[in-house]
Structures are given as C-alpha cells and as structure tokens.
Amino acid sequence: MNSTAHPDAGRPRTPVEPVPPLTWWRVLAPMVLDLDAQRRLRTALLDSPPLPSSDWGAACRADPTAAIGVAINVLAEGTILPERLDPAMSAILLCAALGDPACIDLLAHVLGRRARRRADLGALWLARAWCSAARRGPDRVTAVSGR
C-alpha cells in the first residue's frame, strides 16, 4: 500500500452541490472565480443584509479600499460572527478576483490564520494559491457589471 499522499490532498475543489456564494472565500481557488462567478458573488453581496459601515455599498461595488476597511473592522471585533465575516470577506474575494494586490494579501492572510487555527489543509492550500495569484498577476480580463 502506498503511503504517499495524493498531490491534491487538502486542495479545495469546485463544489459539486450548490455552495452559498458568501462562503466561497473559504473554499474556492482563484482560478475558479471566472467572470460568471464574480457576477454571482457581486449579486449575492448586493442581496445580503448590509453590514453597518458607510463603506458597505462601495465594498459591494468592488472598491478595494472600502472592502478592506469593512473587513478590517469586522476582523477587529471581539467576537467574529459568520453573518458579518462572510459578507466582509466576500467583498475582499471579489476585489482579489479582480486582481487587487492588497485584497489578495488580506485574503491570503485570513486564510493562513484560519489554516493554523483549525489545522485546515484546504485553507492552507487556498492561502498559497492566492499568494501565487498575487505574484502571477491577473491572467484574464474581468469586470463587474453594474446593477
């Protein structure tokens, strides 16, 4: 019996069953976030209850500065609640998918912390994938349509 782990062990895959878009930041690799996925994510952000931030609307429109401000405020809260963390990190994911280096760095950092805290190989793989995406730069033309 071969004890060598499969090279994709721990690697997140494209979900087979529907996964809520606001949880994609935890499970989907950069290469999965094509234009259609970006549009679906943006629609989910706009349809979600707004976070208590004057920057929330701009964050949903893929403004990296606004998204980072919202996410930092959520991450700085004493108790991190999924109903606030998922939308905030989804705004970061949208900007990261569009190639913003600061959002890619923040996403990789949060995933790396999640991997260490939970011994989660999938989160570790995602953090490394986003770090590679940051070095590679955006490899496709992407855009977010208005609503």
Tens-place pLDDT, residues 50-100: 999 999 999 999 999 999 999 999 999 878 888 999 999 999 999 999 999
70 lies in a domain? yes
* Residue 95: strand, helix, or coil: helix
42 lies in a domain? yes
Domain count, the chain: 1
pLDDT score for 131: 85
How many whole angstroms separate alpha carbon 100 and alpha carbon 63?
Answer: 10
Length of the chain measured in residues? 147
Mean pLDDT, the chain, rounded, equals: 82
Q: Which residue has the higher pLDDT, 21 or 147?
A: 21
Q: What is the 3-state secondary structure (H, E, C) of 3-62?
A: CCCCCCCCCCCCCCCCCCHHHHHHCCCHHHCCHHHHHHHHHHHHHCCCCCCCCHHHHHCC
Q: How much is the pTM?
A: 0.79
147 lies in a domain? no
Sorting pLDDT into bands at 50, 70 and 90, what band is 121?
confident
Residues spanned by the domain of 111: 26-136
108 lies in a domain? yes
21 lies in a domain? no
pLDDT score for 18: 78
20 lies in a domain? no
Is the pLDDT assigned to residue 139 strictly greater than 80? no
9 lies in a domain? no
pLDDT score for 136: 53
Is the pLDDT assigned to residue 2 strictly greater than 90? no
142 lies in a domain? no
